[in-house]
Amino acid sequence: MTATLAGINDFFIKLFFGRDADSAVGSGLGGSDSLYMFIWWVSVFFFVLLMGIMAYCMIKYRRRPGVPAERSASHNTPLEITWSVVPSLLLAVMFFWGFDGYLKAQMAPSYAEQIELTGAKWNWSMTYSTGIGASQFTKLGSNENVPVFYIPAGKPVRLKMSSKDVIHAFWVPDFRTKLDVMPNRYTPYVFTANPIDRTGADTRVQKMSDKNGNEFYYRDHTVYCAEYCGDQHSEMMAVLRAVEPAYYTTWLNTPPYDAVTPPIEVGQLVWKAKCAVCHTVDGTASTGPTWLNSYGYPREFTNSDPMTQQMIDADPIKWDNYIRQSVINPGSEVRAGFQNAMPSFAGQLSDVELRGIIALIHSLSDRDPKKIEGFDHLDEEAKKLNEAEAAK
Amino acid sequence: MATIHTQQPALGKDDKSVPLWKRYHHGHHWRTADDEFDAAKIGIWLFLSTEILLFSGMFCAYTLFRLLYPESIAAGSSYLDWRWGGLNTVVLLISSFTMANAIRCVQLDKQGWAKINLIITWLCAALFLAIKLTFEYGPKWAQGKRPGVLFNYPFASEAHEPIWWGIYYVSTGIHATHVIGGMALIALLIYRQHKGAYGPTHYTLMEGVGLYWHIVDLVWIFLFPLLYLVH
Amino acid sequence: MTTVDRTSEHLGAHAGHHDEGSYLTPKYGPIGTVWDWMTTVDHKKIGVMYLFAVLFMFFLGGVAALMLRTELLDPTRVVDGQVTGAALSALVPGEVTPASVGQLYNRVMTMHGAIMVFMFIVPGIPASLGNFFLPLMLGAKDVAFPRLNLASWYIYVFGSMFGVFSILMGGVDTGWTFYTPYSTTTAGQPQVIAMVLAAFILGFSSIFTGLNFIVTTHKLRAPGMGWFDMPLFIWAVYSTSIIQVLATPVIGITLLLLFFERALQIGIFDPGLGGDPVLFQHFFWFYSHPVVYVMILPAMGIISDVLAVHCHKRIFGYRAIAFSSLAIAAISFLVWGHHMFSSQGELAAMIFSFLTFFVAIPTAVKVFNWIASLYKGSITFTTPMLYVFAFLFLFSIGGLTGLPLGTLSTDLHLHDSYFVVAHFHYVMFGGTVIAFLAGIHHWWPKMFGRMYNERGGQIGCLLVFVGFNVTFFTQFFLGTQGMPRRYASYVDDFHTLHVISTIGSYILAAGFLVHLGVFIHSLFLGPKAPQNPWGGLTLEWETQTPPIEHNFHDEPVVTHGPYDFDEVVPPGWDPKDYPLPAPDPAGHKH
């Protein structure tokens, strides 16, 4: 009997949530899923009771010609008090249970892993204690550059969240909790992802190996932005990849790039993590200008003087400076035909990353800054040197 | 509600020799003139409660920013001269008194005094705005003490002074708008009173405008210490 | 309740020999008639104009909703450089990208929300049916301030024009909630300002209507009508009006500040300038939470009245229902913070969650009373009554699904998800719109003097009921499974449920088309309506159909309670058609 009831309950949990909660807050006895199911069964009881009485009356007391409505009481104080008080008691249970769970979802022990999370229109980025960020990307919906963030499974984690522009909200449905990401203060998102089950009982746990050949088990959780934030609100996703704490430590200490990584490779990673949501590299339109064939071309601005071909010709690093300026203070020169939608990345890109971005944009253009007149012989010499190098 | 006895006049409706107020007949959907008068008073009180709630939003914003940036609010407040604000308070208090007086005069059918009181009320309102514009808004605006993006005061000492000016201009601006509205209504009263529309048995509009004018005064009584005196 | 016996001469006083034309009878030529309607201070004409205006707005908002559902039929994907699942994009020129799809979706989403909330559901029932029937049910000739009523109508038109103007200029993408700093920084300066001003102006219309109704209820009740002899619809509209008068000024100042924030960047709400975006949320919900009761309370009033009349049954627990309306109005001012569980501190969250449960009790009490009123009734299955059943079914679901949203730990998951969308629509559509439809059908004969086609109405009701459930019940599951609201696209897991929901919305639209057909048919070809087709006892059924210009030939005197179906033969009915139950043996009256 109890087994059947538990089975029915499980059936509804699956129906509602698709799968069990993957966090300490949601799962287990007393977790928010069991509270939800408690409310569900209370609701079902009252709904069936009310609709049952309604259906009974509809049949029993339907109008028959010549038969008047029966006389009945205009009110019944004991009955009315009963049906006010009994539901109130149930509501009190819901309130206290819910408040208890809410507090659990807000508090993290002091040893919790702290990671900084930044929301911006329209992507998430994380900065780990070792200074690294996301270096892997995956496809979700129509977004091909959804960042993958590694987190330690079974260990409390506290995200220190802030927004660069408008209000966002960080929601991991598997963890059953969300919190707003505000532009003017930090907010904490606390969770403990369920440990990784290597036995294969959890079909969502998978195995893969990283670029250094280390094998590891992981389970992915989707992150959504839950507070409306504009054009690509629905593309603002991320993946939390829960891995075993030991592997997490390894991963944390393997920087994806350093000072000797080729700048274009760095640029590509930075582009995926921070820029791809608005700037394409294949010429298609998006919120911001595409990077394909842009370096070295003249530009018109809505709020300042244009960057003319002469200026570019006269100054070979004009475009490098323009990119730098656009990253640090995007509102100063807004490209004609586009809105001033970009947040500032001042202080958020290292010199290596900024160099990478410039190198990437440069490499995507079919145009180099015009050679400076009177120095053509240098080109000739460089060409000869290159040929000599190649001949070796 | 109504304490004044408002018996219906028995005189003919079209007799020009009879003052307008004696010929007034209440709206067809009312049973008695008393009911109509009471209803108008309930209506105006409800409307005034919405006015209070409207300004209470500004008071909330003021309180919050006072807590968030006490230095900026204090600095902003110190730019205001309490003497001009105080003078304006006195001007408004006088106008409130003359407004109440005008109603009393109408109730006693002293039409000449009523007119003088109404005109003084209107002049006080105009004086309030004149002081506000020439000695407060004008010089401040010229010095660059303006709200938000328009702020251009080179000697600002605190970072959030533009917010202070935002609160200052919006709250006093909404109040000034109410004063302008009040002036229009008082002008209407002067005209109608001149035509003999109000007397002991009918002065509903005067009563309503009077209550409105007292609330405008009351709001200033709150704004004045908050903006000028509390540092 | 008053149960003074009806004096027969009073009934005879207006038994047919005044043959005065109804308020609808044109007194002038075509241009004169139009001018007459445009300058009328007759609450009935203003009510009818409001009715058509809000229904037109409902149509516009509904078209937007169908556009949204059509867009969500397929998720947006980029396949070989081509964007698929972008049904709406065919409507606008320009290159299709995921960003442009989102941009368009967000504009239509805002249009749906802003129109439905500010121009349809807030003014909706009070301004149309309330305007028409509040004075009639009170036995008054008009509302207390007829000219203010006309002014309120023009303010509504003026405000709506701003809203429509903003949409024509390219639309707004802020969502109807105008959250800062998004709304102060997003593109489209003139449109955003126009939409904010529209909501601001519409607020005045709301305040004036509410003020008018409060005074009317206080001062214009017919002789003999005490507070507890008022129909429950009046109690509901009265409670609604209190909220309108007390809450609307706060949104007024909020929108004004938002306007200055947008125009002058005064920095009150914009964190970039030192402002506090959460202050905006507090201000906004201090109005917008009470205002959901502005939307639902009149609907509850309609349900009480329609249910009693179509069951010929005294409402069970009259005072409990009347007082619960007032209780809901009062508590509604204390719970705004439950819209911000994910953006405020623990203490505030606890307090607001606790207070939120207090709203649940009077609401539940009402539902229990309605169901108990069916007991021993004489229940018909007319369209209005079917809508009452639909209301009880849908509103119960709406109310019960509010529980996990008011409970803190479950709300952390469900907040800003499709669960909220579904809950909100179950309450607002399953509650308010369904009750509005019950009310329109119930009072249609009185308003226009013609019966509607009963079978047509029943078919429409069935389609609306089925379509609604298919559309929105699926959204509960979308929400619990993790679909965030206001998404133009979604991951593949949610595809099936979205398809079902969209199909439901088409069934729903078909239901409304049936109703539209029934109404148009009735206006031109419907049989003439009798004075009192359903056997109601409230005062609007005592006057002729449609009512004369001044409502009643003679001032009505109230001699019985609004629901004394056990004691009184309804006006205009032959006692042969209305057998009264045997007298109470104990001889006492309830």
pLDDT in tens, C491-539: 999 999 999 999 999 999 999 999 999 999 999 999 999 999 999 999 9
pLDDT at A343: 82
pLDDT in tens, C204-261: 999 999 999 999 999 999 999 999 999 999 999 999 999 999 999 999 999 999 999 9
Q: What is the pLDDT of residue C585?
A: 65
In this predicted structure, the answer to whether residue C394 has a pLDDT above a threshold of 50 is yes
The answer to whether C316 touches C307, Cβ cutoff 8 Å, is no
Q: What is the pLDDT of residue C263?
A: 87
For residues B126-152, one letter each, b for 16 or more C-beta atoms within 10 angstroms of the residue's C-beta and e for the rest, the string is bbbbebbeebbbeebbeeebbbbebbe
Secondary structure (3-state) at B145: coil
pLDDT of residue C586: 62
pLDDT of residue C32: 92
Helix (H, G, I), strand (E, B) or coil at B108: coil
Burial class (CB in 10 A: 0-12, 13-18, 19+), B84: middle
Q: Which helix (H) or strand (E) holds A270?
A: helix A263-270
**Most confident listed range (A259-268, B183-192, C5-14):** B183-192
State residue A97's pLDDT score.
93
Residue A317 half-sphere exposure, CB side, CA atoms within 13 Å?
A: 4
Is residue A372 pLDDT above 70, yes or no? no
Q: Which residue has the higher pLDDT, B2 or C515?
A: C515
In this structure, chain B runs to a length of 231
Q: A169 Cβ partners below 8 Å, 6+ apart?
A: A178, A179, A180, A181, A225, A226, A227, C342, C415, C416
pLDDT tier for residue A52 given thresholds of 50, 70 and 90: very high
Write down the ipTM of this complex. Answer: 0.91
Give the pLDDT score at C588: 52
Here the tokens at position B210 are 């009077």
User: Residue C408: which of A66, A83, A102 has the nearest Cβ?
Assistant: A102
At B91, list the tokens.
Answer: 């001007």
Nearest Cα of chain A lies from the Cα of C478 at a distance, in angstroms, of 8
Nearest-CA residue of chain C relative to A222? C482
State chain A's mean pLDDT as an integer: 88
* Interchain contact, C401 vs A69, CB within 8 Å: no
Q: Could you tell me how many CB contacts below 8 A there are between chain B and chain C?
A: 113
Q: State which of A360-364, B161-165, C54-58, C182-186 shows the largest mean pLDDT.
A: C54-58
Pairwise CA distance, residues A211 & A256, whole Å: 10
For the residues A363-392, what does the mean pLDDT come to? 70
Q: What is the pLDDT of residue A98?
A: 93
Is the CB of A234 less than 8 angstroms away from the CB of C343?
A: no
Chain B partners within 8 Å of C144 (Cβ): 39, 43
Q: What pLDDT is attached to residue C4?
A: 38
Q: Residues C85-110: what's their mean pLDDT?
A: 88
Task: Please tell me if residue B70 touches chain C, with a CB cutoff of 8 Å.
Answer: no
Does the structure show a pLDDT above 50 at C399? yes
Give residue C397's pLDDT: 97
DSSP conformation class of A62: B
The per-residue pLDDT for C434 is 97
Q: Residue A318 contacts by C-beta under 8 Å, 6 or more apart in sequence?
A: A307, A311, A312, A369
Query: Which whole-number Å values give the CA distances from B136 to A36, B168, B193, C528, in the listed order?
Result: 59, 11, 34, 68
Which structure tokens are listed for C85? 């699942």
Closest CA to C314 of C3, C565, C137, C568: C565
Q: For residues A183 and A167, is the Cβ–Cβ distance under 8 A?
A: yes
What pLDDT is attached to residue C85?
A: 87
Higher local confidence (pLDDT), C150 or B16 = C150
Tell me the backbone φ, ψ of residue A181, rounded to 5 degrees: -110, 115
pLDDT in tens, C112-152: 999 999 999 999 999 999 999 999 999 999 999 999 999 99
Tell me which residue in C264, C266, C274 faces B69 most closely, judged by beta carbons: C274
Mean pLDDT of chain C: 91
What's the average model confidence in pLDDT over A75-99? 92
Looking at residue C295, what DSSP letter applies? H
- Give the per-residue pLDDT at C17: 42
Three-class secondary structure of residue B154 per DSSP: coil
Question: Mean pLDDT, to the nearest integer, of C271-295?
Answer: 90
pLDDT at C7 over 60: no
B33 neighbourhood in chain C, CB within 8 Å:
none
pLDDT at C11 over 60: no
Task: State the pLDDT at residue C2.
Answer: 39
**Does residue B221 belong to the interface with chain C, where contact is any CB pair within 8 Å?**
no
Q: What is the pLDDT of residue C15?
A: 42
Inform me whether the pLDDT recorded for B190 exceeds 90: yes
Dihedral angle of Cα B205, C123, C558, B39, to the nearest 10 degrees: -10
CB contact under 8 A, C403 and A36: no
Q: Name the residue facing B53 among C142, C146, C246 (closest C-beta).
A: C246
For residues A244 and A340, the answer to whether their CB atoms sit within 8 Å is no
pLDDT higher at A342 or B175: B175
DSSP assignment letter at B14:
T
Average pLDDT over residues C340-355: 87
What pLDDT does residue A379 have?
A: 65
Residue with tokens 């998720």: C75
| Top-confidence residue, A224 or A391 | A224
Q: Identify the pLDDT of residue A44.
A: 96
For residue B14, the model assigns a pLDDT of 66
pLDDT of C188 > 90? The answer is no
> Which pLDDT score is estimated for A376?
63
B158 touches chain C (CB under 8 A): no
Q: State the best of C106, C405, C408, C478 to mutate against chain A, taking most chain A CBs within 10 Å.
A: C408
Contact between residue A388 and residue A299 where contact means Cβ atoms under 8 Å apart: no
- Chain A residues inside the 8 Å CB shell of C278: 182
**Residue holding tokens 């506000």?**
B132
pLDDT of C577 reads: 84
Q: What angle do CA C21, C23, C24 make, to 5 degrees?
A: 90
Pick from A54, A101, A339: which is nearest to C371 by CB? A54
Q: What is the DSSP string of C482-502?
A: T-BSS-SS--GGGHHHHHHHH
- HSE at residue C101, side-chain half, CA atoms within 13 A, is 27
Whether C587 has a pLDDT exceeding 60, the answer reads no
Q: Is B3's pLDDT higher than 50?
A: no
According to the model, what pLDDT value does residue C10 have?
A: 41
Residue B1 binned pLDDT confidence (cut-offs 50, 70, 90): very low
Q: Name the interface residues of C facing B (CB cutoff 8 Å).
A: 140-142, 144-146, 148, 207, 211-212, 214-215, 218-220, 245-246, 248-250, 252-254, 256-257, 260-261, 264-268, 273-276, 279, 283, 550, 555
Give me the mean pLDDT over the C262-279 stretch: 88
Q: What are residue A127's DSSP bridge partners?
A: A116
What is the secondary structure of C245-286 as a DSSP string? HHHHHHHHHHHHHHHHHHHH---SS-GGGT--HHHHHHHHHH
CA distances from A346 to A349, C151, C154 (A): 7, 53, 51
| Tens-place pLDDT, residues B32-62 | 889 999 999 999 999 999 999 999 999 999 9
| Structure confidence at residue A124 (pLDDT) | 94
- In percent, how much of chain A has pLDDT > 90? 43
- pLDDT, position B106: 93
Output the pLDDT for position C6. Answer: 38
Put simply, the answer to whether C249 touches B27 (Cβ < 8 Å) is no
pLDDT of residue A14 exceeding 70, the answer is: yes
CB contact under 8 Å between C215 and B39, yes or no, is yes
Only one residue has tokens 């987190």, namely: A151
The residue with greater pLDDT, C114 or A372, is C114
